[in-house]
Structure 1
């Protein structure tokens, strides 16, 4: 075994002192290990364990492909036996896309995330095991696990590379612990316009449209005014946008009344 776990920097893990461990069984290319490490740190995972990496460890290609996820690479531990890599874990999940003979609970990554957080909240140490890139996990690996994780993908093509698989598990883990709205408006330095500001803009715009002869058919005017208002209320104008629209309307009126240059 090489490497040491070190103390977890909770500023890199979303405040979790004991995030899930990622175990890669017989990973082949250092590039794939590095990309998996990058995916891990994206999701606040920092404990990476390798079992019999084909090209040895440390690996320059892994460091290069980690793209700055040095905390993962530097603390990576290498084991010769799966049993040693899993020894200190209370609960182990194994990822596979194949149907096996063993009777095991099966989670999706989304279903697994709250399960892992609940068990970690009880003080348990959790690990997620990934098999070799070419063959995936073997039956003996599934026998070591408490449950199986399967990603619901296109039944006709379920193949994932190592980093993709790690990212799918890690992403759901991270999302289960953050409170981010599914939709929000990016306001930058502006703020929403008040109802009064928007109303004054409508009055200004409608006045200029009236002066220009836009409302030619009087009986259609109420519906046209509603349509105009719906256009602007639907997009949620900011204070600055209201000021800009009013400036545009004023500029067009000024241009209309500006004397034409003499030829």
Structure 2
């Protein structure tokens, strides 16, 4: 009957989904489909193995063309998250890097509160076979893990994205006003600039002692500076203090006297 079919509103908001080095186009397409099912719209890819665009991804997306058409591809994770204020990393285990660990319900509520407060948020998903590296997890603010059967804990990317997308959509149906953060944290670009600065000045002064210890020490430093959720202004103050100290701190050759 004419006029009875009404076009429904397309939900398209919420956190950005970032896939790190996805392998199969079909998996990317199924991720897009899961996102569309629950109202997420922005998908970013870091170094997809089979390149982009990918017709297998479009076919598997099952008409989620608005997501496939808007995909952006990035050479590295640092670039992919530079404009985001807050990020969750999805992992199968908590990891030993001082980050808070949440379950999907709790993390989705946090994402909703930050989104409502005007922040740009994202969720990292790792490779199909072995997930995210410790260095990649270190770029996130917090970790989200899924309560699954410990004897069969493996989730594919699309399943993980679907679970997070579902929990995200549910938070918008409750009608309760979320508690908003009092200040907007700096973007990851500001934090990455600080980490590059620390890498340079600490290397010049022999802080890392040996090259093999440097990656873990930088991961720990990144976790330290990520956890408070610094604002742009606070990072600027911190950078000013460090720059002032640098002017009066003599450089020490790497491997010098300790």
Single out whichever of 41-50 and 153-162 deviates more from structure 2.
153-162
The equivalent residue for 1:125 is 120
Shift of 1:155: 1.3
The equivalent residue for 1:113 is 108
**Separation in 2, partners of 1:144, 1:12:** 31
Normalized against structure 1, the TM-score is what? 0.62
**Separation in 1, partners of 2:54, 2:61:** 11
**Separation in 2, partners of 1:148, 1:121:** 21
Aligned residue pairs: how many?
A: 168
Shift of 1:101: 1.2
| Structure 2 alignment gaps of length 5 or more | 1-7, 176-258
The equivalent residue for 2:10 is 12
The equivalent residue for 1:165 is 160
Find 2:67's aligned residue among 43, 65, 72: 72
**Separation in 2, partners of 1:42, 1:159:** 22
Cα distance change, pair 118–179 in 1 and its aligned pair in 2 (3 A): closer
Find 2:32's aligned residue among 37, 40, 45: 37
**Separation in 1, partners of 2:111, 2:86:** 9
The equivalent residue for 2:238 is none
**Structure 2 residue matching 1:12: 3-state secondary structure:** coil
**Separation in 2, partners of 1:70, 1:33:** 12
**Separation in 2, partners of 1:99, 1:112:** 14
Shift of 1:130: 0.3
Cα distance change, pair 122–179 in 1 and its aligned pair in 2 (3 A): closer
Normalized against structure 2, the TM-score is what? 0.63
**Separation in 2, partners of 1:11, 1:90:** 28
CA contact (8 A) 2:94 2:143 kept: no
Shift of 1:179: 4.9
The equivalent residue for 1:231 is none
**Separation in 2, partners of 1:47, 1:176:** 18
CA contact (8 A) 2:128 2:156 kept: yes
| Structure 1 alignment gaps of length 5 or more | 1-9, 181-263
Aligned residues: CA RMSD: 1.5
* Structure showing greater Rg: 1
CA contact (8 A) 2:94 2:101 kept: no
Shift of 1:157: 1.5
The equivalent residue for 1:152 is 147
**Separation in 2, partners of 1:45, 1:30:** 19
Q: Whose RCO is larger (CA < 8 A, sep 6+)?
A: 2
